[in-house]
Structure 1
């Protein structure tokens, strides 16, 4: 059986991350919000950690809890080198099983070709009762941009944005990967833009532009029509509201000391109950 065709262009992803590295500080707001949400969830945990993996480290903004040792990984060479870390992709991790007791990933899992495989690898490299906290832009993100491209492309729609994962599917993937006490929840972030160009600048600056393997370049005419459609959706102050749906994932590597979930395979367990699990 032949392997399925790739969803994302891995080489283009590496190049665009390297290109974004220099000016990332001007476009880091989305990951900053994700790290804030991960930090809130981590603050509720009553156990300590010794070995942490920052998976998709970008500029290394995540600070490990306490005195924990941290390994940083990024698919892009420039970010990995600047962080003193390892260049690797999330579904091709070079670590031995049970290497970490905490894995954090913010802003990259929506760009992984084999997300089920990546989650299984994350679970494997966690020690028993180790914690995974992830965040990414999920289904329902960028509705204004999608609408603008639909208007611009008319009867010949092109692949402009990659598929997005909804919160229910994300929870199911945690279960399939073998995580205990899986939780998936979602929070919305609204950002207001003066133009389509400003939004596209942000997406390029955060290395989140079109990475599809079978992507279609936007010709000048289509881009002009998209910009006009985006502007037509603006509020009276001339700014268009765009939304990011941030999906948060929480899962524990199985351990005999953990409480049993009320229902087998549930991804809707109480967040507070999951985070208060102790080692």
Structure 2
């Protein structure tokens, strides 16, 4: 029988290299971290709303350490993954956690159904998974600028991302008893394309496609910069959108 493997869309070595560079950039005073800060705040608000006080927690992807610190302050025993060695496609200890939180991590996994199955298996009975990821509605101005940069034959430079309907189907496929998927939009204003790219690098969110596109030529880069600023408002700033999907699943 032929064994089918998931397509290799993403390069894990490139992703790890980008995260290591981001951790170095975070030592700078003005380094951007608003994506992770927003996700951490949202998870804490959800736990408070659900009146959930987990005792054993696994936190994946939070390179700020803020979420684990807050949960430990509430009495939880928290394990954290080293973001420099993330491998969401590897199995975890079975039935070990009553809460698993994954932040800005699952959107760049080749075998996303398999990763969700591993996370479900690692939950204790009645355990909960909360996974926040960057959704398909993100960065429309950047996408438009990349197409304008190479109008005849654009190279693949941006990730395919999961939308709300696909996320719900994935949770069902992973056999979670109940599933909730919701989205929100985080808007950030940028004075230039270069500022946006710098922010993405600060947060380890640049491309880690398995096929690396060649650098943009100087002419193509100028076209991209011009196209990006076509979306600017009266103050000369472009409001870019980050769609944040939050997947919540309960294990029976």
Choose the corresponding residue for 1:38, options 40, 43, 58.
43
Query: 1:4–1:133: structure 2 CA closer, same or farther, 3 Å change rule?
Result: closer
Out of 148, 151, 154, the residue aligned to residue 154 of structure 1 is 151
Match of 1:70 among 73, 78, 93: 78
State the Cα distance separating 1:47 from its structure 2 match: 4.0
Cα separation, 2, equivalents of 1:217 and 1:30: 27
- CA change 1:127–1:4 in 2 (3 A) is closer
Where does the alignment leave 5 or more consecutive residues of structure 2 unmatched? none
Contact 1:74–1:89 (CA under 8 A) maintained in structure 2: no
**How far 1:218 sits from its partner (Å)?**
2.8
Residue pair 1:116, 1:173 contacting (<8 A) in 2 also: yes
Which sits farther off after the overlay, 196-205 or 26-35? 26-35
Alpha-carbon offset, residue 253 of structure 1: 1.0
Alignment of 1:135-214 (within 5 A): 135-214=132-211
Report the 3-state secondary structure (helix = DSSP H, G, I; strand = E; otherwise coil) of the residue aligned with 1:103. Answer: strand
Task: Give how far 1:24 is off.
Answer: 2.6
Is 61-70 or 156-165 further displaced after alignment?
61-70
Q: Which residue of 1 aligns with 2:87?
A: 89
Shift of 1:8: 0.5
Using the size of structure 1 for normalisation, the TM-score is 0.83
Q: 1:193 Cα deviation (Å)? A: 0.2
Secondary structure at 1:22 match in 2:
helix
Whole-angstrom distance in 2 between the partners of 1:16 and 1:161: 14
Q: TM-score, normalised by structure 2?
A: 0.92
Shift of 1:168: 1.1
Q: What stretches of structure 1 move > 6 A for 4+ residues in a row?
A: none
Separation in 2, partners of 1:139, 1:18: 25
Residue 107 of structure 1 is matched in structure 2 by 104
Question: What CA distance in whole angstroms lies between the structure 1 residues aligned with 2:161 and 2:195?
Answer: 22
Q: Is the 8 A contact 2:193 2:225 kept in 1?
A: yes
Aligned length: 243
Distance in 2 between residues matched to 1:201 and 1:116, nearest whole Å: 31
Counterpart of 1:21 in structure 2 is: 23
Alpha-carbon offset, residue 39 of structure 1: 1.4
8 A Cα contact 2:36 2:62, kept in partner = no
